[in-house]
């Protein structure tokens, strides 16, 4: 088994087919999207392939250690993960091919108008995990 990160982006990835930002969706479209994501995760729990998932809030801050006292905090000017990363899921699967299959299915979550988003998801193995590619 190998663990993979399925990373959902706000921007930075190629445009999705149904490329309407979530903040422009109707409430029932957001609900349908979340229900799809939960049902997908529930199915992976049943197969033993689910590890964890989180949707991320758009709020965020950069913090670093800068000696004694309060660490500096900034909201820019760099590209920040709050502007790029919408959420993630970690899966534990038998093969790279299975990870690709699941990422493709997750990409079809509904969006605006109830139509699948067909968004690009970043698929990355966790560091130190064995990746088996049989292409």
Distance CA 104, CA 121 (A): 8
Q: Read off the pTM.
A: 0.75
Second CATH level (architecture) for the domain 2-125? 2-Layer Sandwich (3.30)
Show Cβ contacts of residue 77 under 8 Å, excluding neighbours closer than 6 positions: none
Structure tokens that stand for 120 in this block: 């690009």
Q: How many CB atoms lie within 10 A of CB 14?
A: 8
pLDDT tens-place string over residues 35-62: 999 999 999 999 999 999 988 776 766 6
Tens digit of pLDDT for each residue in 94-122?
A: 999 999 999 999 999 999 999 999 988 88
């Amino acid at each position: 088994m190998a663990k993979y990160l399925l990373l959902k982006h706000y921007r930075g990835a190629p445009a999705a087919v149904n490329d309407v930002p979530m903040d422009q969706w109707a409430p029932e479209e957001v609900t349908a999207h979340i229900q799809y994501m939960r049902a997908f995760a529930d199915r992976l729990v049943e197969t033993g392939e689910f590890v964890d998932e989180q949707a991320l809030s758009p709020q965020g801050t950069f913090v670093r250690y800068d000696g004694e006292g309060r660490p500096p905090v900034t909201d820019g000017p760099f590209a920040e993960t709050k502007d790029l990363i919408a959420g993630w899921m970690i899966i534990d699967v038998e093969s790279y091919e299975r990870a690709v299959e699941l990422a493709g299915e997750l990409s079809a979550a509904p969006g605006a108008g109830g139509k699948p988003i067909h968004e690009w998801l970043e698929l990355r193995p966790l560091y130190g995990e064995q990746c088996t590619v049989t292409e």
